[in-house]
Structure 1
Amino acid sequence: MTLHDDAVRALKDWTAPEEPESGQERLRLDYLDHLAAHRDGLWRQCLPAHLTASALVVDPAHDRVLLTLHAKVGRWLQMGGHCEPEDGTLAAAALREATEESGIPGLVLLAAADGPAPVRLDRHRVRCAGRDRPESDHLDVQYVALAPAGAEAAISEESLDLRWFDYEALPQLTDRSVRELVARARELIG
């Protein structure tokens, strides 16, 4: 199975949260349309949009999340980024990105009945191909990664800072997407 096939399967199998105002089902269908129209729809070269994978790192024992102050974006975000050729699945891409950017070994993606599953989708504009290139849409497939007990984060070169935040004390430089992802993670973890 190719990464493209896995992405189609993951999105077809995923049930969007029943929040009509969130537009999750519309995004799910848009992502599937994108993949149907673009065999290269997971690669950064696919313009004007491509899928990305991210994971919110959660420490459920301490009711906190790990966020990175992204060097290019200048906001506190979950870990994530572009798919790579070695990623066999979207879930693997999200886990790889979370592990690389957090420095935490042993992360485990929150699973549904059939294994790791997305928890949210988010579309956002980013200039990822360089300063002189146009912005593109990231069609982000978001997961939750559970940190092992005693996990210690280590900052990567992609971050200006990396910190744990209590669920109720997210920094000001977070956007709606991050806040909704944290709320969804709390809902699923309990």
Structure 2
Amino acid sequence: MAEATSCTAAPLTELLHTKADLTSRKEFRGHVTAGAILADADGRILHIRHRALNRWLLPGGHLETEDTGLLAAAQRELTEETGIPSTVVTPASHLPIHIDAHPIPANPAKEEPEHHHFDFRFLFRTSADVVELQTEEVTAAAWHAADTIIDAPLRDQVLRALR
């Protein structure tokens, strides 16, 4: 189940006023990421065990130059991390169902200071299962009931969308 690590969106608002490049992962005051909330036919949500953070999270990650938008980035990350092809995944909407601001700890190996991720999360549906984990970043995957999501605002949005 995804851990709750939310903070306020105030840093995102402040960065928007400074005209920061929020698509650049080198913007260490904070940058945008894209997340996938993948629901199976039973309404369970796919969680991945993130190697670097050693936590259960939703699939997602940084934007790439070839991404045509946040939805495309979320779907690409989902496929990369789980091996589930985009052909068997359907977006529930073209709009995010949740936006989360959370701190990311410093990573000296990548020369990255502590910073914020502003994660735009999109709901997808599938009848497929995980094919092949991206072992450089993911150590495990598991389906959990949507009502076990710890982050209350996210859980409420997901449960509402699944009705």
TM-score w.r.t. length of structure 1 = 0.71
Aligned pair count? 153
Deviation, 1:34, is: 2.5
1:98 partner amino acid: L
Distance of aligned partners of 1:84 and 1:65 in 2 relative to their CA distance in 1, 3 Å threshold: same
Distance of aligned partners of 1:41 and 1:181 in 2 relative to their CA distance in 1, 3 Å threshold: same
- The match for 1:108 among 77, 85, 90 is 90
1:108 partner amino acid: T
What's the Cα RMSD here?
A: 2.5
Moved over 4 A (4+): none
- The match for 1:140 among 119, 123, 141 is 119
In the alignment, structure 1 segments of 5+ residues that lack a partner are 1-22
- The match for 1:153 among 114, 130, 140 is 130
Which one has a larger percent helix, Structure 1 or Structure 2? 1
* C-alpha contact 1:98 1:145 (8 A) present in aligned 2: no
Q: Deviations over 1:26-76 (max 9, x none)?
A: 73x7635524523521110012111111011111x2121110011011111
Mapped partners of 2:69, 2:20: distance in 1 = 15
Give the match for residue 82 of structure 1: 62
Q: Which has the higher contact order (CA 8 A, sep 6+)?
A: 2
- The match for 1:96 among 76, 88, 107 is 76
Deviation, 1:167, is: 2.6
Give the match for residue 67 of structure 1: 47
User: In the alignment, does 2:23 pair up with 1:42?
Assistant: yes
1:144 partner amino acid: L
* C-alpha contact 2:103 2:117 (8 A) present in aligned 1: yes
In the alignment, structure 2 segments of 5+ residues that lack a partner are 1-5
Give the match for residue 19 of structure 1: none
User: In the alignment, does 2:37 pair up with 1:56?
Assistant: yes
Identity %: 29
Deviation, 1:152, is: 1.8
Give the match for residue 165 of structure 1: 144
Secondary structure at the counterpart of residue 73 of structure 1: coil
1:152 partner amino acid: D
TM-score w.r.t. length of structure 2 = 0.81
Secondary structure at the counterpart of residue 48 of structure 1: coil
